[in-house]
């Protein structure tokens, strides 16, 4: 099988609740990129990459598209089933930029599943859990609004929550106090600063909420700052933004820097590398949040397939991003029920883009 074309689309994903805010950032929509890989077999694969705005990670939406355009001519003629070769080729053609490569790698997994008539989760290890546990984000707002939101989400069936903080230590202490007061017994809460605290602020917050049962996620920008914060708290620590390579996972494991890791598919470069990261984390005994930086039905399907193929005890939670949007970009995305999502057993990622919604391609590169 040979790749004969790469077609690229841009789409804005508007947020149902009007905005999504974390740390000191806020957006009303996220700019997503969809890539379609065409082959001489007639099979097509779909991939998506959606950085969470231009200053969350070293990634931005226009960069994703420019990168895909840069890579595409060098991928024509390659076999999408030879996934390691595809990844090696992308690394030869462009150094770094994992978020660019993620969409292409994802589309190749979609093609592999279709070629072998298997859902992607079977190729990623098998159906190790029937349902994928979700968490719901309580976006950063005033403490009272956030406290009200967590009650509403619990009424909807969600049991795991990530409240966004990282915008001023005193306000965040109030947010954590008020939101945790409304958490029902048995439910799980993490306070995610998304790198937003300076080290001294993080230490103030963790000390002030010492009595609250919650996880603290990526308090500061650097790994070293997060490690320093950990030495001041008994709260379980989740590392997210700084876990951008297998090397960082090994380092974190050796330093006992975290209790959980947040694995984001496009930060690591796609499903191929996310699977490596997942398998190594399991070898180390580390449980994971499995997600992506953001996306619509296509990126969320990839998350669901990776999570389905991960044993329950190593899977903490996942995100269903399409649930936050007022616009669907594809059919066949993960179904959501009672705080969990699950995929159909359709081959590949099991999603079909809505080309009316995606509109005209930005570019297509064909052999
Ligand atoms: Mg996080």
- The answer on 113 and 127 residing in a single domain is no
The single residue of 16, 264, 346, 366 carrying the catalytic annotation is 264
Residues 34 and 48 sit within 8 Å (Cβ to Cβ): yes
* pLDDT at residue 29, rounded to an integer: 96
* pLDDT at residue 228, rounded to an integer: 98
In the numeric block, the tokens 């050796």 are attached to 254
Average pLDDT estimate for 5-19? 96
Structural domain tally of the chain? 2
Question: 240 CB contacts (<8 Å, ≥6 apart)?
Answer: 192, 194, 217, 218, 261, 262, 264, 289
Cα-to-centroid distance, 21 and ligand 1 (Å): 12
Average pLDDT estimate for 19-28? 91
pLDDT digits (tens, 9 = 90+) for 141-192: 999 999 999 999 999 989 999 999 999 999 999 999 999 999 999 999 999 9
CATH classification at residue 24: 3.30.390.10
Query: How many whole angstroms separate alpha carbon 141 and alpha carbon 297?
Result: 26
pLDDT(23) > 90: no
How many Cα neighbours within 13 Å face the side chain of 257?
A: 23
User: In 3D, which of 131, 44, 109 has the Cα closest to residue 271?
Assistant: 109
- The answer on 135 and 99 residing in a single domain is no
Cα-to-centroid distance, 219 and ligand 1 (Å): 9
Number of Cβ within 10 Å of residue 196's Cβ equals 23
* pLDDT at residue 297, rounded to an integer: 98
- The answer on 359 and 347 residing in a single domain is no
With H, G, I as helix, E, B as strand and everything else as coil, classify residue 234.
coil
**Per-chain mean pLDDT for the chain:** 97
What is the dihedral angle through the alpha carbons of 64, 67, 73, 76, rounded to the nearest 10 degrees? -50
With H, G, I as helix, E, B as strand and everything else as coil, classify residue 5.
strand
pLDDT(35) > 90: yes
Cα-to-centroid distance, 53 and ligand 1 (Å): 14
User: In 3D, which of 34, 6, 21, 63 has the Cα closest to residue 302?
Assistant: 34
pLDDT digits (tens, 9 = 90+) for 281-300: 999 999 999 999 999 999 99
pLDDT(304) > 90: yes
> Residue 198 catalytic?
no
The single residue of 16, 164, 210, 366 carrying the catalytic annotation is 164
Percentage, residues of the chain above pLDDT 70? 100
> Residue 16 catalytic?
no
Element (H, E) at 25: strand 25-27
Cα-to-centroid distance, 26 and ligand 1 (Å): 15
Cα-to-centroid distance, 137 and ligand 1 (Å): 10
- The answer on 25 and 154 residing in a single domain is no
Element (H, E) at 22: strand 20-22
Cα-to-centroid distance, 192 and ligand 1 (Å): 6
Cα-to-centroid distance, 294 and ligand 1 (Å): 11
Cα-to-centroid distance, 194 and ligand 1 (Å): 5
Domain of residue 228: give its range: 122-352
Direct distance between the N- and C-terminal alpha carbons of the chain, in angstroms, rounded to an integer = 14
Cα-to-centroid distance, 197 and ligand 1 (Å): 13
Residues 274 and 265 sit within 8 Å (Cβ to Cβ): yes
Question: 95 CB contacts (<8 Å, ≥6 apart)?
Answer: none
Cα-to-centroid distance, 200 and ligand 1 (Å): 20
pLDDT(250) > 90: yes
* pLDDT at residue 24, rounded to an integer: 86
- The answer on 131 and 91 residing in a single domain is no
- The answer on 195 and 104 residing in a single domain is no
User: In 3D, which of 42, 1, 12 has the Cα closest to residue 358?
Assistant: 12
For ligand 1, a single-atom ion, which residues have Cβ within 5 Å?
A: 192, 217, 240
- The answer on 241 and 111 residing in a single domain is no
- The answer on 56 and 140 residing in a single domain is no
- The answer on 207 and 171 residing in a single domain is yes
pLDDT digits (tens, 9 = 90+) for 318-348: 999 999 999 999 999 999 998 999 999 999 9
- The answer on 144 and 30 residing in a single domain is no
- The answer on 187 and 160 residing in a single domain is yes
E strands of 155-259, at which residues?
A: 160-164, 188-192, 215-217, 237-239
Cα-to-centroid distance, 119 and ligand 1 (Å): 28
CATH classification at residue 204: 3.20.20.120
- The answer on 198 and 145 residing in a single domain is yes
Output the pTM of the full model.
0.96
Query: How many whole angstroms separate alpha carbon 294 and alpha carbon 30?
Result: 8
């Amino acid at each position: 099988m040979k790749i004969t074309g790469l077609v690229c689309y841009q789409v804005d994903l508007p947020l149902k609740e009007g905005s999504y805010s974390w740390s000191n950032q806020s957006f009303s929509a996220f700019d997503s990129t969809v890539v379609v890989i065409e082959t001489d077999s007639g099979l097509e694969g779909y991939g998506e990459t959606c950085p969470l705005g231009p200053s969350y990670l070293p990634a931005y939406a226009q960069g994703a598209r420019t990168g895909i355009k840069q890579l595409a001519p060098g991928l024509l003629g390659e076999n999408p089933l030879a996934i390691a070769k595809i990844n090696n080729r992308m690394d030869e053609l462009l150094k770094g930029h994992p978020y660019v490569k993620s969409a292409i790698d994802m589309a190749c997994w979609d093609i592999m599943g279709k070629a072998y008539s298997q859902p992607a989760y079977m190729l990623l290890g098998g159906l190790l859990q029937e349902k994928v546990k979700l968490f719901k984000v309580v976006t950063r707002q005033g403490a009272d609004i956030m406290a009200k939101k967590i009650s509403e989400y619990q009424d909807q069936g969600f049991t795991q929550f990530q409240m966004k903080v990282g915008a001023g230590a005193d306000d965040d202490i109030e947010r954590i106090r008020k939101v945790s007061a409304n958490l029902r017994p048995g439910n799980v809460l993490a306070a995610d600063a998304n790198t937003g605290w300076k080290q001294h602020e993080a230490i103030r917050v963790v000390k002030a909420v010492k009595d609250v049962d919650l996880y603290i996620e990526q308090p500061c920008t650097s790994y070293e700052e997060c490690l320093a914060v950990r030495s001041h708290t008994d709260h379980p620590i989740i590392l997210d933004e700084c876990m951008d390579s297998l090397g960082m996972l090994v380092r974190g494991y050796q330093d006992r820097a975290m209790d959980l890791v947040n694995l984001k598919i496009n930060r690591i470069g796609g499903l191929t590398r996310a699977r490596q990261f997942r398998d190594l984390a399991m070898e180390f005994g580390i449980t994971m949040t499995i997600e992506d930086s953001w996306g619509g039905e296509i990126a969320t399907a990839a998350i669901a397939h990776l999570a389905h193929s991960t044993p329950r005890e190593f899977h903490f939670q996942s995100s269903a991003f399409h649930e936050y949007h007022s616009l669907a970009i594809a059919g066949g995305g993960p179904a959501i029920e009672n705080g969990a999502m699950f995929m159909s057993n359709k081959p590949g990622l099991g999603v079909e883009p809505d080309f009316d919604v995606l509109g005209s391609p930005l570019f297509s590169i064909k052999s």
